[in-house]
Amino acid sequence: MADDAKTGQTDVIVLGAGMVGVSSALSALSARERGMSVTLVDRREPGSETSYGNAGIISSGSIFPLNTPALFEALPKYLSNSHPALRWNLGWSIRNADWIMRFLANAFPAQTKPRAAALQGLISASLKLHREWIVRAGAPQRIRETGWLKAWRGDVTASAKAQQAALAEFGIKSEVLDRQAISALEPNILPVYRTGILHTETASVDSPGNVVKAYAKMFAGAGGQIRSSDIKSITPVGEGWRVVLSDGEIFGRHVVVALGPWSADLLRSLGYRAPLAFERGYHQEFKPNPARQLLRPIHDADIGFLMSPMEQGIRVTSGVELTDRDAPSNFAQLEASAAAARSVVEFGEAVAQPWRGARPTLPDSLPMIGPAPRHRGLWLAFGHQHIGFTTGAGTGAAIAAMIGGAPPPFDVTAFAPSRYL
């Protein structure tokens, strides 16, 4: 099919310009030797939603999702619904008891290793691509190779060593640190942490939204089309798809649904009920003290928040809030996190309003990456929970390979949409 902007015909239409969609569009376009034309559609500028508000970590080691056996140990402290790491809305929990049970069923020991192995393949392919793309996109100054520190106030060396060993089984490098080593690494924070684990191969960026924009610019510079419009519906027609937009319609042979937390909405009219829930999260940025800079993202594992040095200031990101995607904001978790962060690093007043987003999560915490089971030419790429800024890149490469009939760069079996649809 020819690339014809006038007739609105294209080979691949990617819906959603977050990290997942932009990476899919970029990867599909790189397969140009097969002559593919690619259009990327979003109602907002690329990288303006979940892929904007995250902590900017390009993680080498996030292979163990929230639902592992450790969740069962932590559950008692979450039951009071006052811990900053996890809050849940009672009404939502009753209405979604089935989703909660399926999520917990995946936390048993037998489910852990297969999912970790699947995520390791996706993560390592993604890291490689980010390191390459960020340079090609002209934004190498945004990436920092300083690792990611997870830290505890108590002496939990044995548990940190167990985590290190679990990561090492998958070839992921880390270092266990004591108070002195943490101070040497982060000389500007107060010495509140006694134990730490440094993910040495993890990178981070100083502006996740601008990194997505840089990738999108690279896509447009290579001949990709970006269309700014609200997507209303998708319908199969003949050998391809009609995508109805608020200002017209476009036709494509393949459609990739990469709408992050909005993905399930669009699929409903095709008879797909994706069990997507929302682990909502907040952030706020604060004016840093130039004499007390953070050098890398730090995850406070006791209280359950993250602080990351960003272009505009220190970004404090909250833990998980389980509720409806569009329920009104409740800033209590963010406020508790910001107060705790102040006891670790000095910073001034907020530089912007609080932000809220939703991590899109399926019951097994694995994304869907692959073909829709009952429709040819429909590809699903969503459900990337806490690690979609990282894993968007590998997801895009895998989707583009599958569209082009080539083998994906890692084993995608565990991500098959047919496991739920």
Ligand X SMILES: Cc1cc2nc3c(=O)[nH]c(=O)nc-3n(C[C@H](O)[C@H](O)[C@H](O)COP(=O)(O)OP(=O)(O)OC[C@H]3O[C@@H](n4cnc5c(N)ncnc54)[C@H](O)[C@@H]3O)c2cc1C
**Footprint of ligand X (CB under 6 A):** 16-21, 42-44, 48-51, 53-57, 59, 230-231, 258-262, 281, 283, 317, 357, 359, 382, 384-390, 392
- Check if the beta carbon of residue 9 is closer than 8 Å to that of residue 2: yes
Taking the complex as a whole, the smallest distance from the CB of residue 235 to ligand X amounts, in Å, to 15
> Which letter does DSSP use for residue 407 in this model?
P
Which of 54/405 has CB closer to ligand X? 54
Taking the complex as a whole, the smallest distance from the CB of residue 42 to ligand X amounts, in Å, to 4
- Check if the beta carbon of residue 374 is closer than 8 Å to that of residue 312: no
Which of 176/256 has CB closer to ligand X? 256
Which of 254/299 has CB closer to ligand X? 299
Taking the complex as a whole, the smallest distance from the CB of residue 178 to ligand X amounts, in Å, to 25
Can you state the angle between helices 208-221 and 19-30, rounded to 10 degrees? 30
Q: Which of 51, 28, 106, 113 is nearest to 401 (CA)?
A: 28
- What tokens does 36 get? 């593919």
Which of 194/325 has CB closer to ligand X? 325
Taking the complex as a whole, the smallest distance from the CB of residue 94 to ligand X amounts, in Å, to 24
Angstrom distance (rounded) from CA 219 to CA 24: 10
**Which residue is associated with the tokens 């904001």?**
329
- Distance (Å) of CA 323 to CA 207, 265, 277: 27, 16, 8
Which of 183/210 has CB closer to ligand X? 210
Long-range contacts, 107-114 (Cβ 8 Å, 24+) = 107/67, 107/68, 107/69, 107/71, 107/72, 108/69, 109/69, 111/67, 111/364, 112/64, 112/68, 112/69, 114/414
Q: Which segments of 137-246 does DSSP mark as H helices, in order?
A: 157-168, 179-185, 208-221
E strand or H helix at 349: strand 347-350
Which of 52/193 has CB closer to ligand X? 52
- Check if the beta carbon of residue 358 is closer than 8 Å to that of residue 89: no
Taking the complex as a whole, the smallest distance from the CB of residue 157 to ligand X amounts, in Å, to 25
Taking the complex as a whole, the smallest distance from the CB of residue 20 to ligand X amounts, in Å, to 3
Angstrom distance (rounded) from CA 191 to CA 204: 23
Count the Cβ atoms, other than its own, within 10 Å of residue 183: 15
- Distance (Å) of CA 290 to CA 126, 205, 208, 294, 314: 32, 19, 22, 9, 11
Taking the complex as a whole, the smallest distance from the CB of residue 18 to ligand X amounts, in Å, to 2
Taking the complex as a whole, the smallest distance from the CB of residue 110 to ligand X amounts, in Å, to 26
Taking the complex as a whole, the smallest distance from the CB of residue 416 to ligand X amounts, in Å, to 18
Which of 181/244 has CB closer to ligand X? 244
Which of 183/229 has CB closer to ligand X? 229
Which of 184/323 has CB closer to ligand X? 323
**421 Cβ partners below 8 Å, 6+ apart?**
272, 273, 274, 368, 372, 373, 374, 380
